[in-house]
């Protein structure tokens, strides 16, 4: 399984040779294509050839671009050539409304419980207990919009009373947006690799969004980025966006019904469980449970 996530933040030339990605900077790096999960291009002076795009598409490697604020704003993914794609499309289109609502409520329940864990790990036990009580009130489809009420309470207690998610100039939001985008892209990559159509979501249904399903499945993972951001601004905070560390959150350990594993591995398990639910072979999504931040033992930081 591919596992290396590459961040390119300085001028470079990219090309492919002998089944490896060649990164030409002051030094020349050779990275086997089979090891690469994603490439984040965060510098306007990066040149790459058409064969690089083609080789990445053939191997399911995601390529991210970033905007002027260094936030990922696009992702290049391969067309699905999975043998089950047509079958899965029919299953996605025929999913019942009650099942959609039930799955969405489970995603939101786990999201709020992970937010509660984040507050607890941040020394906010009373606030964490309140979030747990909110999670217990979620009904199928979340008709009471408990998710929104929980988010308003959560962010003001995790950061400060004046914090707003609408402030794009805020360093906290810079970290959150970057981290969410990386995880969202990894989820989209896994969905496409399994033959699922990312346009067909459970809850998100805005017309111009090509990654509705990824936006549904990311919800339980957001607290991982939140926890990192909280600890970052309280310790080694400076004006630079910690892009490498945010990408490396994919290597962090979470708990799942199958044991401890990296965020990246748990996304694979979650996507597989969703497919099995569509096929009628499983009842529940296999969702991640937040833990204190630490790298999973089987993952290494191997960014060049």
Annotated binding site: 147, 204, 219
- Residue 298 to residues 33, 252, 262, 270, 290, Cα–Cα distance (Å): 20, 10, 8, 19, 18
Would you state the structure tokens that stand for residue 178, as one six-digit string? 């970057």
Name the β-bridge partners of 23: 14, 29
**Whole-angstrom Cα distance, residue 34 to residue 36?**
6
**Whole-angstrom Cα distance, residue 128 to residue 119?**
5
- Residue 134 to residues 15, 45, 98, 124, Cα–Cα distance (Å): 51, 48, 22, 16
Comparing C-alpha atoms, which of 254, 70, 41, 242 is closest to residue 168? 70
Residue recorded with tokens 């001028």: 11
Alpha carbon distance, N-terminus to C-terminus of the chain: 19
**Whole-angstrom Cα distance, residue 209 to residue 207?**
6
Would you state the structure tokens that stand for residue 117, as one six-digit string? 């864990």
Question: Under a CB-based contact definition with an 8 Å cutoff, are residues 35 and 10 in contact?
Answer: no
From the CB of residue 205, how many other CB atoms can be counted at a distance below 10 Å? 10
Comparing C-alpha atoms, which of 75, 70, 74 is closest to residue 56? 75
User: Which amino acids are annotated as binding site for Mn(2+), given as ranges?
Assistant: 147, 204, 219
H or E segment to which residue 28 belongs: strand 28-32
> What's phi and psi for 14, nearest 5 deg?
-115, 135
Question: Under a CB-based contact definition with an 8 Å cutoff, are residues 144 and 135 in contact?
Answer: no
């Amino acid at each position: 399984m591919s596992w290396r996530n590459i961040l390119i933040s300085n001028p470079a030339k990219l090309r492919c040779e002998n089944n490896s990605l060649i990164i030409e900077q002051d030094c020349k790096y050779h990275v086997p294509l089979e090891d690469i999960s994603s490439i984040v291009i965060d510098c306007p002076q990066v040149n790459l050839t058409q064969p690089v795009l083609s080789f990445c598409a053939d191997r399911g490697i995601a390529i991210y671009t970033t905007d002027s604020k260094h936030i990922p704003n696009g992702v290049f993914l391969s067309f699905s050539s999975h043998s089950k794609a047509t079958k899965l499309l029919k299953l996605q289109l025929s999913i019942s409304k009650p099942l959609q609502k039930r799955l969405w409520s489970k995603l939101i329940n786990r999201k709020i419980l992970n937010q509660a864990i984040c507050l607890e790990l941040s020394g906010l036990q009373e606030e964490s207990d309140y979030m747990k009580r909110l999670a217990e009130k979620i009904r199928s489809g979340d008709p009471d919009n408990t998710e929104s009420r929980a988010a308003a309470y959560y962010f003001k207690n995790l950061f400060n009373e004046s914090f707003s998610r609408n402030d794009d100039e805020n360093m906290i939001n810079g970290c959150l947006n970057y981290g969410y985008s990386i995880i969202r892209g990894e989820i989209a990559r896994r969905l496409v690799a399994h033959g699922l159509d990312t346009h067909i979501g459970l809850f998100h249904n805005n017309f111009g969004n090509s990654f509705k399903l990824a936006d549904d499945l990311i919800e339980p993972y957001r607290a991982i980025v939140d926890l990192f951001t909280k600890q970052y601004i309280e310790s080694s905070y400076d004006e630079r966006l910690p892009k490498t560390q945010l990408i490396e959150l994919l290597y962090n350990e979470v708990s799942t019904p199958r044991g401890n594993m990296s965020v990246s591995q748990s996304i694979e398990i979650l996507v597989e469980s969703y497919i099995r639910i569509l096929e009628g072979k499983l009842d529940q999504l296999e969702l991640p449970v937040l833990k204190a931040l630490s790298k999973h033992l089987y993952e290494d930081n191997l960014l060049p």
